Amino acid sequence: MSLISNPEFSLINGQAHHSKTQVDVVNPATGEHLAQVSEADNQAADKALQAAAETFEKLASTTAHARSQVLRKWYELVIEHRQVLAEIVTKEQGKPLKEALAEADYAAGFIEWYSEEAKRAYGQVIPSHSQSHELTTIRQGVGVVLGITPWNFPLAMITRKVAPAYAAGCSFILKPSEKTPLAAIALAKLAIQAGMEVGAFQVLVTNDSKGLVAHLTESPQVRKLTFTGSTQVGSALLKQCADTVKKTSMELGGNAPFIVFDSADVEQAVSGLMAAKFRNAGQTCVAANRVFVAKGIAAELLNTLTQQVSTLTLGNGLEQGVDIGPLISLEAKQKAQQLLEDALAKGASIAYQGDKQSGQFMAPVVITDVNSTMRLFHEEIFAPIVSIIDFESEDEVVRMANSVPEGLAAYFYSNDGNQIRRVSHALEYGMVGINEGIISNPVAPFGGVKFSGLGREGAQEGLLEYQEIKYLCQKFS
Ligand code: SIN
């Protein structure tokens, strides 16, 4: 089976959808035109919806065990094709191949986890209030799911939605980012090869995301919307889902604080920061956005950090030894440069800056003397800029860390046991890395509080997002 061909197609009920209009897929590192993907319009979306609704009914008569086996097979196929999937990701998204391979494994991990969890969707027997009644609950699939996924993890953000949805017996319509549709189509082909029903995983690619999603969210047949993306779009989608009272999961923007206390091991903190900041060139929702460093260790940390940042190699992710690929678009680079200029104009200083890069490449930058008047204190940077803020006390830094509306991931480094307990409880975030810069894992609940979203993905909690609990009250005579 070809995983990438030119032209590619939106995939409706297992069939290639032909259309007059195409989505062009371009390599952000080289500008090379990779593929043309046929676009799905509202009519195509209606066909997908009908197939998804029919498939949901059929899935109701499949066992959790059977769905588990399909997921297991899909997992095996993703592992078998990890190299080709990773190459697709590097070409259409830009991240270095070593990171794309890690993403393929991360993506496969969600499928493996839910192939196991599918069999553990237990209900409950509730201790009854009367001798003549038995009270139980069962968990059933919510129905047709619409998923909207971003370009920064073109594999993993899909499997962490589709795998639990299928485990729960739901059919899924995916609208991937128009920048990275090839990985999405490849995943769907592998799922179908694994035995997944063709109407259970359909892919609609479009340049008119807003129009297509508005059309689909109007339908009462779509019972669940799951979205990963910005808070602004997430909030608009929640409003769109209100009229038809859909269940929703929202993985929205972050603004992660990364705090290094006096007692921390500076070497370890810097290595955690390098991972939390530079993964995917800084283009992750859980990237360290504001780095708070205790005054007493600020000079030592800066020294170690700039030394390590200076070793990073930028380039085409398919080349050996590359650590940082291009940003996803010129607009993304321009926005990051504006954030940098704003910070410098308001008093920040450059501690390190790599050689200026052309095209969509942006060299890593480390800046100090950052404060809350600057835009990058309040906005997601999504680029390889490390912004450092010194602090004096625990109270002060926790207050600054919590002072933004977002609450996705936070990190801190400390070797003081009492402080670890105090700070991990005080941070208003859905996920906290303690002496660790990489926290994402299929077995742990990923998600945020406040403006960072609703619901959790991965872990046991991720399955519940695709299920309804039905209460059964049975009377015996
Ligand atoms: C994201 O950036 O949205 C996800 C990152 C992750 O899963 O680690």
Of all atoms in ligand 1, which is nearest to the CA of residue 152?
2
Alpha-carbon gap, residue 141 to 171, rounded angstroms = 9
Joined tokens for residue 237: 């989608």
Alpha-carbon gap, residue 77 to 158, rounded angstroms = 15
Pinpoint the alpha helices (H) of 118-224.
Answer: 156-167, 181-193, 209-218
Query: Quick check: CB of 152 below 6 Å from ligand 1?
Result: yes
Question: Is residue 117 among the annotated active site residues?
Answer: no
**DSSP assignment string, 112-148:** HHHHHHGGG---EEEPPSSTTEEEEEEEEE--EEEEE
Please tell me whether the peptide bond between 220 and the residue prior to it is cis, using omega within 30 degrees of 0. Answer: no
Per-residue pLDDT of 179-231, as tens digits, reads 999 999 999 999 999 999 999 999 999 999 999 999 999 999 999 999 999 99
In degrees, to the nearest 5, what angle opens at C-alpha 153 toward C-alphas 310 and 462?
125
Under CATH, which architecture does the 10-252+452-474 domain have? Answer: 3-Layer(aba) Sandwich (3.40)
C-alpha separations of 109 from 155, 253, 272 in Å: 11, 23, 22
Portions of the chain given CATH number 3.40.605.10: 10-252+452-474
What is the band of 296 on the pLDDT scale with cuts at 50, 70, 90? very high
Per-residue pLDDT of 348-395, as tens digits, reads 999 999 997 899 999 999 999 999 999 999 999 999 999 999 999 999
Question: For the residues 45-55, what does the mean pLDDT come to?
Answer: 98
Instruction: Quickly count helices (H) and strands (E) in the chain.
Output: 15, 22
Per-residue pLDDT of 242-281, as tens digits, reads 999 999 999 999 999 999 999 999 999 999 999 999 999 9
Q: Are 427 and 401 in contact (CB under 8 A)?
A: yes
Centroid of ligand 1 to alpha carbon of 275 (angstroms): 13
Centroid of ligand 1 to alpha carbon of 92 (angstroms): 17
- Protein residue whose Cα sits closest to atom 8 of ligand 1: 440
pLDDT of residue 7: 66
Alpha-carbon gap, residue 94 to 81, rounded angstroms = 19
Query: Which positions ≥6 away from 211 have C-beta within 8 Å?
Result: 42
**Do β-strands 124-126 and 33-38 pair in parallel, antiparallel, or remain unpaired?**
unpaired
The amino acid present at 393, given as its one-letter code, is S
pLDDT of residue 356: 78
Per-residue pLDDT of 304-324, as tens digits, reads 999 999 999 999 999 999 999
Partners of 472 in beta bridges:
136
pLDDT of residue 9: 85
- Protein residue whose Cα sits closest to atom 5 of ligand 1: 284
Alpha-carbon gap, residue 167 to 173, rounded angstroms = 15
What is the band of 95 on the pLDDT scale with cuts at 50, 70, 90? very high
The amino acid present at 473, given as its one-letter code, is C
Portions of the chain given CATH number 3.40.309.10: 256-441
Centroid of ligand 1 to alpha carbon of 286 (angstroms): 6
C-alpha separations of 72 from 167, 337, 445 in Å: 11, 44, 21
Query: Quick check: CB of 452 below 6 Å from ligand 1?
Result: no
**DSSP assignment string, 379-409:** S---SSEEEEEEES-HHHHHHHHTTSSEESE
State CA 257 to chain mean position distance.
18
Picking from 180, 203, 185, the residue whose alpha carbon sits closest to that of residue 4 is 185
**DSSP assignment string, 262-327:** TTS-HHHHHHHHHHHHHGGGG-STTSEEEEEEEGGGHHHHHHHHHHHHTT--BS-TTSTT--B---
Residue 1: pLDDT above 60? no
Percent of the chain that is helix, strand, coil (3-state, to 5) = 40, 25, 35
Centroid of ligand 1 to alpha carbon of 461 (angstroms): 17
pLDDT of residue 178: 98
Of all atoms in ligand 1, which is nearest to the CA of residue 251?
3
Portion of the chain with pLDDT greater than 90, in percent:
96
Alpha-carbon gap, residue 146 to 226, rounded angstroms = 6
Alpha-carbon gap, residue 475 to 462, rounded angstroms = 33
Centroid of ligand 1 to alpha carbon of 88 (angstroms): 18
Centroid of ligand 1 to alpha carbon of 246 (angstroms): 24
| Number of residues written out for the chain | 477
| pTM of the complete model | 0.97
pLDDT of residue 6: 64
Q: What is the DSSP letter of 243?
A: T
Portion of the chain with pLDDT greater than 70, in percent:
99
Q: Which of 87, 103, 251, 406 is catalytic?
A: 251
Picking from 415, 430, 339, the residue whose alpha carbon sits closest to that of residue 380 is 339
Alpha-carbon gap, residue 98 to 361, rounded angstroms = 18
Q: Is 424 exposed, middle or buried (0-12, 13-18, 19+ CB in 10 A)?
A: middle
Query: Quick check: CB of 153 below 6 Å from ligand 1?
Result: yes
Per-residue pLDDT of 97-129, as tens digits, reads 999 999 999 999 999 999 999 999 999 999 999
Partners of 474 in beta bridges:
134
User: Right CATH number for 256-441 from 3.40.30.10, 3.40.50.10070, 3.40.1690.10, 3.40.309.10?
Assistant: 3.40.309.10
Query: Quick check: CB of 360 below 6 Å from ligand 1?
Result: no
What is the band of 10 on the pLDDT scale with cuts at 50, 70, 90? confident
Joined tokens for residue 375: 């835009």
| Residue of 233, 289, 440 with the most ligand 1 atoms within 8 Å of its CB, for mutation | 440
Residue 89: pLDDT above 70? yes
Q: What is the DSSP letter of 473?
A: E
Query: Quick check: CB of 409 below 6 Å from ligand 1?
Result: no
Per-residue pLDDT of 420-429, as tens digits, reads 999 999 999 9
Sign, CA torsion 464/276/433/427: negative
pLDDT of residue 357: 85
Phi, psi of 157 (to 5 degrees): -70, -20
